[in-house]
Chains A and B, each alone.
Chain A
Amino acid sequence: MVSDNKPILEVKGLKVGIEGTPILKGIDLMIPKGEIHAIMGRNGSGKTTTANVIMGHPAYEIEEGEMFLDGESLDDMEPWERSREGVFLSFQYPQSIPGLQVGNFLRKSVSSVRGEEAARGSEFREKLTSAMEELDIPKSFLSRYVNDGFSGGEKKRFEILQLMLLQPRLAVLDETDSGLDIDGIRTVSKGINSVVRGTENGALIITHYSRILEHVNPDRVHIMIGGKIVASGGPSLANLLEDNGYDWLEEQVEKGVDFE
C-alpha cells in the first residue's frame, strides 16, 4: 500500500474536447487517499466525459492539463495500462458482450489487473463467492454472458462485483445509482464502502441524486456546470443542491458564495 502524501488522483487544468467541440473547460480536482468525492451536475455538464477521460477513452482530445494517479502521470498511459495501475471505471451503460461468460471474464480481468495468481485457486473462488453474496448475486450469474440481457440493476451490481474483485486504487463510478431501487442502492453502497473505507484507496462518484451519497457519505462534493467545477464543499452541499436546484446554485456562484 502506498504511504506517502501524494493524492490518489490529481487533475490540473484539464481541457478536453471531442471532434473540435470543447466539453471540459478547465477541471481541477484532488482526491486524497482514503477519500470519496462526488461530482453532481446537470445532464451534459461534462460528468461522464470526466470519468471517461480519467479512464483514457480514445475518443476525447486532451487540449490542456494533466492527470496524476499516486503522483504518476496518466497522460501517456493507454486505458488497459491505467486499469493495471489501479484505475477502475464503473460505466453508466456497461457494454454487453454476447458469448463471453461472466465467470471467464472475471478471471481474465482479475488476472490482468492483479496478476495470474490472484485469479487462481480457492482464494479467488472464496472472494468471488463472498462478494456475490454481499451483492445478492446468484451463482447462476457466472454462466451468463457479460451484460447480455441483464436488467439495469443487474448491470450495476455486476459493475460493483468487478470493483470488489479488482480492488482498484481509484474507483470512478458513473451514475452507478441509476436504475437501482432503494435496496439496490444500499447494497451497492456497501460494496463501494468496503473497497474504499478503512483503506488508502479513493473513489469519485458521479450522480444526479443525493440518495447514494447518504449511504457512502462522501468527504467532498463538487458541482459541475458547463464543463467546469463551479462549487465544492462538504456532504451538505448535495442536499442544498437537491433542495434548491441548479439555477439557485448558479445564482449563488455568481454572487461569489463560498460553499466550503
Chain B
Amino acid sequence: MDASSQYLSADYPDRADHLWRYTPWKKIHPTGDISDIPSDFSIPEVSLKTIDGSTLPPGISLDRGDADSEGLPDEEKITKSFLEAVTGDSKFTLTVAPKFKSEVPIIIEISTSGTFCSAHVCLDIGKLAELELVTVVRGTCKWFGMLRTGSTGEGAITSDVVVNRLEHGKLLRVESISIPRNSQFKAGTVSSGSTVTKADLRYRMFQPGGNLNVLGSILSAKEMSLDHHIEIYHDSPETFSRLDWNSACGGSSRTVGTGMLRVSKGSNGADAAQLFQNLLLSRDAQADSIPELEVSEHDVVGCGHGTASGPVDEDQMFYLASRGLSPNESKSTLIAAFLNSTLSEMGGERMHGWLVSELDSDLTELGD
C-alpha cells in the first residue's frame, strides 16, 4: 500500500491520546479537510553551509533523493503516512562520514515558499563523528510539513538544533532519531516562528550507553499556538536522558509541552528526568505542560518529572531595577535569561552566539 492509501485508511487519532490532546489533526492539516491530500506541494530550497560562511569541511554532504524512513513511529500512522505522501520528491539526506569533525557548526537552511511546502530530511551520521548541526526553517509558505528521520553512529557526539523561523502559517514537524551505543545526542528546538506548530519528536536509545539531552527554547507571542510532544524511549540498559523545556508565552498565545518517557523492561540503570518550565508574560497567555512516565523496569537510577509555570519574578525585576534597568529592559532581560538557560546548553559558544542573534529581535518585541 502506498503512503496516500495508508493515510486514507488510517483511523482518525483519538483526542484522548497524549499526543492529540491539544492540537487535533484537523487543526494542523493543510486544508482542514482530513480526507484531502493536496497535490500542489512545492519543494523548498535546501542548502548546506557553515555557520560563518567558510568552506564546508570534507566528509559532509547533503543530497537530494531517497531518504530512509526507517524508525518512524508506526503507532502514529496519520502523520507518518501523510508526510510520506506529500514529501514524494522532496527528500534530502545529510551524510556525515565516520570520525567527521568540524570546529564550525553546520547549517541546513530550508527556505519555504508558496502555499504548501514539505521536506523529508534524513540524518545519516557516521560512527565517532562530532557535529554541531542547525536546521533552520524560514520563509513564507502557509503550511510546511517536515519529516526528520535518521540515526547517529556509535560513539558519535551530536548537537542537533531545529530552529523554526517561519514568518507565519502552520508547521507540522515529525521527527524520529535513533541513538546507538555510547552515542551522545543533544536535540534542541528553538521556536519563534509560525502561527501554529504541531511537533511530534521521538528519540530512541536502543543500545547501552546512549546519552540524550532534549532542550527547548520556545517563544510564543500574539496568537501563536505551539504544541510540542516529546517522546523518549529507554530501550536498553545504562541509558541517560534529560529533557529541559522552557517556554515564554506572551500575547494571547498558547504553548503546549507534553512529554512521554518510556523505560522498557530490561533497561536497567536507566536515568531519566524531564522538566517543563513556562514563563507567562501576559494575562491571556496560556501554557500547558504534561510530563508522563511509563516505567516498566524496577532497577533504574531515577525517573522524574516536573513542571513549573509563573509570571516574571518580581524580586528579580527589583534586583535588575536596582541596577538601573527600566521595567521593559528588565523584563526582556529576564525572558532572554529564561530561554538562554536551555539555549546555552544546545551547543558550543559559536552555535550559542548564532542562536541568540536569531532570537534577539523577537525577544525585544516580547519584552515591550
Chain B proximity mask over A98-122: 1 for CB below 8 Å, otherwise 0: 1110000100110011000000000
Chain A proximity mask over B321-340: 1 for CB below 8 Å, otherwise 0: 11111110110011011111
Give A47-83 interface residues, CB cut-off 8 Å to B.
55-58, 78-80, 83
Complex contact A83–B319 (CB within 8 A)? no
Which of B322, B330, B339, B341 has its CB near the most chain A CB atoms (within 10 A)?
B322
Q: Does B282 contact A (CB under 8 A)?
A: no
- Residue in B318, B323, B337 whose CB lies within 8 Å of A98: B337
Contacts of B316 in A (CB 8 A): 95, 97
- Residue in B313, B315, B318, B340 whose CB lies within 8 Å of A100: B340
**Interface stretch of the complex, out of A31-39, A84-92, A134-142:** A84-92
CA distance A78 to B341 in the complex (A): 29
Assuming the contacts A80-B324, A80-B325, A113-B323, asked whether A58 and B340 have C-beta atoms less than 8 A apart, the reply is no
Complex contact A80–B319 (CB within 8 A)? no
CA distance A154 to B74 in the complex (A): 53
CA distance A99 to B333 in the complex (A): 10
Q: Interface of chain A, helix or strand or loop or mixed?
A: mixed
Contacts of B319 in A (CB 8 A): 91, 94-95, 97
Contacts of A78 in B (CB 8 A): 321, 327
Q: Does B364 contact A (CB under 8 A)?
A: no
Which of B313, B320, B339, B341 has its CB near the most chain A CB atoms (within 10 A)?
B320
Give B296-325 interface residues, CB cut-off 8 Å to A.
313-316, 318-325
CA distance A105 to B315 in the complex (A): 16
Complex contact B324–A112 (CB within 8 A)? yes
Complex contact B324–A99 (CB within 8 A)? no
CB closest residue in chain A, given B356: A104
- Residue in B315, B330, B338, B344 whose CB lies within 8 Å of A80: B330
- Residue in A57, A58, A99, A162 whose CB lies within 8 Å of B323: A162
Q: Does A209 contact B (CB under 8 A)?
A: no
Complex contact B324–A83 (CB within 8 A)? yes
Complex contact A112–B336 (CB within 8 A)? no
Contacts of A146 in B (CB 8 A): 337
Complex contact A109–B337 (CB within 8 A)? no
CB closest residue in chain B, given A111: B324
Contacts of B323 in A (CB 8 A): 83, 105, 108-109, 112-113, 162, 166
Contacts of A57 in B (CB 8 A): 318
Assuming the contacts A80-B330, A108-B333, A112-B329, asked whether A99 and B339 have C-beta atoms less than 8 A apart, the reply is yes
A-B interface pairs (CB < 8 A), number: 77
Assuming the contacts A80-B330, A112-B329, asked whether A99 and B338 have C-beta atoms less than 8 A apart, the reply is yes
Complex contact B324–A58 (CB within 8 A)? no
Complex contact B344–A99 (CB within 8 A)? yes
For the A-B complex with A97-B320, A99-B341 known, give 13 more contacts whose Cβ atoms are closer than 8 Å.
A55-B318, A80-B321, A80-B322, A83-B322, A94-B319, A95-B316, A97-B319, A98-B341, A99-B344, A108-B325, A109-B323, A113-B324, A145-B341
Contacts of A88 in B (CB 8 A): 322
What residues of chain A have their CB less than 8 Å away from a CB belonging to chain B?
A: 55-58, 78-80, 83-84, 88-89, 91, 94-95, 97-100, 105, 108-109, 112-113, 145-146, 162, 166
Complex contact A79–B318 (CB within 8 A)? yes
Contacts of A162 in B (CB 8 A): 323
CA distance A88 to B322 in the complex (A): 7
CA distance A98 to B339 in the complex (A): 10
Contacts of B329 in A (CB 8 A): 80, 108, 112
CA distance A98 to B308 in the complex (A): 15
What are 8 A-B contacts with C-beta separation under 8 Å? A55-B322, A57-B318, A58-B314, A80-B325, A95-B316, A109-B323, A112-B326, A113-B324
Complex contact B324–A84 (CB within 8 A)? yes
CA distance A166 to B325 in the complex (A): 13
Complex contact B325–A109 (CB within 8 A)? yes
Complex contact A79–B321 (CB within 8 A)? yes
CB distance from B159 to the nearest CB of A (A): 18
Chain A proximity mask over B188-223: 1 for CB below 8 Å, otherwise 0: 000000000000000000000000000000000000
CA distance A108 to B313 in the complex (A): 19
Contacts of A89 in B (CB 8 A): 322
CA distance A94 to B316 in the complex (A): 9
CB distance from B318 to the nearest CB of A (A): 6
Contacts of B313 in A (CB 8 A): 95
CB distance from A9 to the nearest CB of B (A): 16
CB distance from A90 to the nearest CB of B (A): 9
CB distance from B221 to the nearest CB of A (A): 19
Contacts of B336 in A (CB 8 A): 99-100
Contacts of B322 in A (CB 8 A): 55, 79-80, 83, 88-89, 91
Which of B315, B327, B329, B333 has its CB near the most chain A CB atoms (within 10 A)?
B333
Which of B321, B333, B336 has its CB near the most chain A CB atoms (within 10 A)?
B321
